[in-house]
């Protein structure tokens, strides 16, 4: 399975999909979250974080670039590159060290950051009526394992 399409009628559906994805993620995975402003990327990230056991608030990393989380099974780094436009600043930020075999990286606005590590899962969201259409594509074996389990 290399692609999964879903319709998410409400915010709760987006959160629920995130919670379902959480236990299927393996350390080392990179997820690119695509879609316009307000598409639901941070909402999906919140669902994933809740599914991993995070109890507190999930801040959008719009201003901080990255929000770090630590779980027993893995580290999770939530990026938002929307405001990050200077490639030199990015290269000097050490952000590449976050992409390592112990961590899962969720990246909003990956298209704004040049030379990001490739995605295991590429997730696109767009408005569809009152809800959201989501397409999840796998680009690696780890990504395909994840989608196979999501399908079951
Ligand atoms: N399936 C859905 N149906 C309807 N509304 C949704 C759905 N999923 C999320 N939303 C709503 O979309 C709004 C924007 O969501 P969110 O902040 O997650 O977007 P985003 O893609 O992260 O935007 P940005 O690019 O600005 O960071 C929120 O009000 C959220 O409740
Ligand atoms: Mg966001």
| Domain boundaries, position 125 | 3-151
**What pairing do the DSSP bridges indicate for beta strands 66-70 and 3-8?**
unpaired
Q: How far away, in angstroms, is 14 Cα from ligand 2 center?
A: 13
Residue 113 has pLDDT above 80, yes or no: yes
Give the mean model confidence (pLDDT) for residues 131-137: 98
Counted domains in the chain: 1
pLDDT in tens, 17-73: 999 999 999 999 999 999 999 999 999 999 999 999 999 999 999 888 899 999 999
For ligand 1, pick from 13, 31, 40 the residue to mutate: most ligand atoms within 8 Å of CB.
40
Judged by its nearest atom, the ligand closest to the C-alpha of residue 109 is 1
Please give the pLDDT value at position 94.
81
Residue 125 has pLDDT above 80, yes or no: yes
Nearest CA to ligand 1 atom 13: 38
First and final CA of the chain: distance in angstroms?
11
Q: Is residue 10 lining ligand 1, measured as CB closer than 6 Å?
A: yes
Write out the H or E segment, with its range, that includes residue 106.
Answer: strand 103-108
Looking at ligand 1, which atom is closest to the CA of residue 80? 27
pLDDT in tens, 90-110: 777 788 899 999 999 999 999
Q: Is residue 6 classed as helix, strand or coil in its secondary structure?
A: strand
Q: Is residue 13 lining ligand 1, measured as CB closer than 6 Å?
A: yes
CA distance 7 to 96: 33
Q: How far away, in angstroms, is 81 Cα from ligand 2 center?
A: 10
In this prediction the pTM is 0.96
Judged by its nearest atom, the ligand closest to the C-alpha of residue 35 is 1
CATH number of the CATH domain containing 141: 3.40.50.300
Q: Is residue 47 lining ligand 1, measured as CB closer than 6 Å?
A: no
Q: Give the bridge partners for 105, in sequence order.
A: 30, 77
What confidence category does residue 89 fall into, taking pLDDT thresholds of 50, 70 and 90?
Answer: confident
Please give the pLDDT value at position 1.
67
């Amino acid at each position: 399975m290399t692609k999964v399409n879903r319709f998410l009628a409400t915010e709760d559906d987006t959160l629920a999909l995130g919670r379902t994805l959480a236990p299927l993620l393996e350390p080392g995975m990179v997820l690119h979250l695509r879609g316009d402003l307000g598409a639901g990327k941070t909402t999906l990230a919140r669902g994933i974080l809740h599914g991993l056991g995070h109890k507190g608030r999930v801040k959008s990393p719009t201003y901080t670039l990255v929000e770090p989380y630590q779980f027993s099974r893995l580290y999770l780094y939530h990026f938002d590159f929307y405001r990050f436009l200077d490639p030199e600043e990015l290269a000097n930020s050490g952000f590449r060290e976050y992409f390592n075999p112990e961590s899962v990286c969720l990246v909003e606005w990956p298209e704004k950051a040049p030379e990001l590590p490739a995605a295991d899962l590429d997730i696109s969201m767009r408005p569809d009526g009152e809800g959201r259409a989501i397409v999840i594509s796998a680009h690696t074996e780890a990504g395909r394992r994840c989608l196979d389990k999501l399908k079951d």
